[in-house]
Structure formats: C-alpha cells, structure tokens
C-alpha cells in the first residue's frame, strides 16, 4: 500500500562531538522516505531549490520513492545549521534559512490523491490541513509537529490533530502541547482531542506508545558509536509508517503497531551511525532483520 509524506528536504550543517559536516542532504521528508522505502512505496511532497543535488532525487526514485510531488523552485534549498553536545538527545539550532520552503504551498499530483496512508511531517499546521483537503478518504493519517508550531499556531494544530489517527511527537513536545508533565496523562489528554494513538519519541531512551488502555515501551538500541542523531526521529516515523502501509488492506491490530514501532526503531538505529543519510541509504533487508532480532534479544525475559 502506498504512503504519502509531506515534509522538508534540506541541507544540514551539523557539528557533534564526533565530527562536523557542511550542507549535507537532510530534511524530515528525506529521512522519512528513505526509511519507509525499505517497506513500502512512498510518494513524496516537498520543495527544493535549484541547488539541491539531482543525485539525491535519483537515489530516491531508484528506491521506490515517487518524487513527482517534489517541486524544484527558483532559489536555495532550506538550510538548517545546528550542533549537539554529548547529550545527543538535544539539537541546538544555530540558524534556520527557510529559503524556498517559506513559500511552500503544495498541490498534490492527481496520482497522489488516493494514497491510503498519509504522514504529515513537521510543517505548518495550515499546510498539513491543506494536504488533508487534497487527499480522498485515506485509511490512516499520522502527524508530527514541533515546539515552533505549538507556540505559534496552536488553534490550527489542534484542528489538524483532531483529524488524524496517530500523533508522533517527542516527549518535550507532548508535554508542551498538553500542559501535562506526566507522559501517560499527556497521551490521554492528546487522545481526547481525536487521535486514537500517540507515539512518544524519547531519543536514546526509545519510544512509548499509548493507544486506549494499551501501552508499549520500546528501548532505543544501545549503540557504541552514535555519530549524528539528526533524522533519527524522522527515520523512526518512516519505518513505523512504512510497516503499517506494507500491511495492505487488512485490519491492523495492536501487534502490528508494535512491530511497526520496532521497524521504526531498527531503521532509526542505523541512521545515527553516520552523518546525513549515508548509513540509511545503504541498508539491506538482512541488516534490518538482524537489528529486529537484536531488539528482541535486548528486551526478552521469561517470568
């Protein structure tokens, strides 16, 4: 089953305790699409400038990602500059140059409008709403957001949250969004606005998944070498949604959502092993299966 994603494509300039890179390919939709492409076909909606490498668009196309919905606009690509200290859970922004992204007003290609799974990446809630007006009765809609939108566009954000099935956010964001510090209470508050599931990303601590009275906690994989956490959350979302899309028409049950969470966690654990998309774009199905098994070994116990 196809999966539509709308989000950013970008250049990132990143400093971490383990190195420094300038203007490497990044963006939430890029990480999401590469991650999801291991599991299902992806339809991408984004905008880049004339300076964006054709090689990346070609790579995406070669990996089952439809880039028809990626506009190449006059001007420069979105550029994020930031750094990490040893605490790799916190990204510090130095500079954000929106460039062509500031006029982003996507019009979906006709061939995208019946996509059954939709992921609204971290962009303005008004654009997220606009995308939902353009798709025809998707089966599953998920959304990501960030503190910037919580602070500047809360009414629109609540409007779009009411229309989605799953919210994927990090723990700081859900606390800010709901005003509840306790994550279980925060998840329940968020679900009272409409969504039936909340997936809370906790960086190196993993993921907490709440749906009705079900809870699922998955650790992040404890790695000895983490070079760059950029894109880990988007890769997680890509693997998560990619697996759900791969289930096709059948009714999803709790165990599907759990396995989706593990696919997301497994793929994200590779992303952080190198800067930019280097590791993410070169995985094999065997790499992913082996990491899934490693997750099982990491978490299993017998009562």
Q: Please, are residues 102 and 89 in contact by the beta-carbon 8 Å criterion? A: no
Judged by CB under 8 A, which of 94, 105, 215, 290 binds its own copies? 215
Judged by CB under 8 A, which of 62, 94, 151, 185 binds its own copies? 185
C-alpha to C-alpha distance for 234 and 241, rounded to whole angstroms: 10
Q: Determine if 113 is a binding residue for its own copies (CB under 8 A).
A: no
**Binding segment (CB under 8 A) for its own copies, from list 68-76, 126-134, 136-144, 214-222:** 214-222
Q: Which two tokens stand for residue 206?
A: 């993993």
C-beta of 32: minimal distance to its own copies in Å? 22
Q: Please, are residues 108 and 134 in contact by the beta-carbon 8 Å criterion? A: yes
**Binding segment (CB under 8 A) for its own copies, from list 41-49, 71-79, 176-184, 279-287:** 176-184
Q: Please, are residues 169 and 177 in contact by the beta-carbon 8 Å criterion? A: yes
Quote the radius of gyration of the chain (alpha carbons, Å).
18
C-alpha to C-alpha distance for 53 and 76, rounded to whole angstroms: 12
**Binding segment (CB under 8 A) for its own copies, from list 48-56, 60-68, 143-151, 290-298:** 290-298
C-beta of 302: minimal distance to its own copies in Å? 5
Q: Pattern 225-264, binding to its own copies, x per CB under 8 A? A: xx----------------------------x--xx-xx--
Q: Looking at the chain, how many residues does it have?
A: 303
C-alpha to C-alpha distance for 275 and 82, rounded to whole angstroms: 13
Residue numbers of the site for its own copies (CB under 8 A)?
A: 17, 86, 181-185, 202, 205-206, 208, 210, 215-219, 222-226, 255, 258-259, 261-262, 292-293, 296, 298-303
């Amino acid at each position: 089953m196809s999966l539509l994603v709308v989000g950013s494509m970008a250049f990132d300039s990143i400093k971490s305790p383990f190195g420094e890179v300038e203007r490497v390919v990044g963006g939430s939709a890029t990480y999401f699409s590469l991650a999801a492409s291991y599991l299902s076909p992806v339809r991408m909606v984004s905008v880049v400038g004339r300076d964006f490498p054709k090689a990346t668009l070609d790579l995406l196309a070669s990996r089952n990602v439809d880039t028809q919905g990626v506009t190449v606009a006059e001007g420069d690509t979105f550029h994020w500059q930031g750094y990490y200290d040893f605490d790799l859970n916190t990204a510090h922004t130095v500079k954000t140059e929106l460039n062509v992204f500031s006029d982003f007003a996507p019009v979906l290609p006709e061939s995208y409008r019946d996509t059954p799974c939709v992921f609204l990446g971290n962009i303005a809630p008004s654009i997220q709403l606009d995308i939902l007006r353009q798709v025809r009765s998707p089966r599953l809609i998920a959304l990501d957001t960030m503190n910037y939108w919580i602070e500047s566009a809360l009414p629109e954000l609540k409007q779009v949250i009411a229309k989605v099935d799953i919210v994927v956010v990090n723990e700081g964001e859900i606390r800010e969004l709901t005003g509840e510090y306790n994550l279980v209470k925060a998840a329940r508050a968020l679900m009272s606005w409409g969504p039936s599931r909340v997936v809370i990303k906790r960086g190196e601590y993993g993921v907490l998944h709440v749906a009705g009275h079900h809870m699922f906690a998955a650790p992040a994989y404890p790695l000895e070498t983490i070079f760059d956490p950029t894109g880990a959350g988007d890769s997680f979302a890509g693997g998560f949604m990619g697996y759900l899309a791969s289930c096709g028409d059948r009714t999803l049950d709790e165990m599907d959502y759990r396995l989706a969470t593990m696919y997301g966690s497994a793929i994200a654990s590779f992303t952080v092993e190198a800067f930019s998309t280097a590791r993410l774009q070169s995985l094999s199905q065997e790499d992913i299966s082996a990491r899934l098994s490693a997750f099982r070994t990491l978490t299993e116990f017998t009562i």
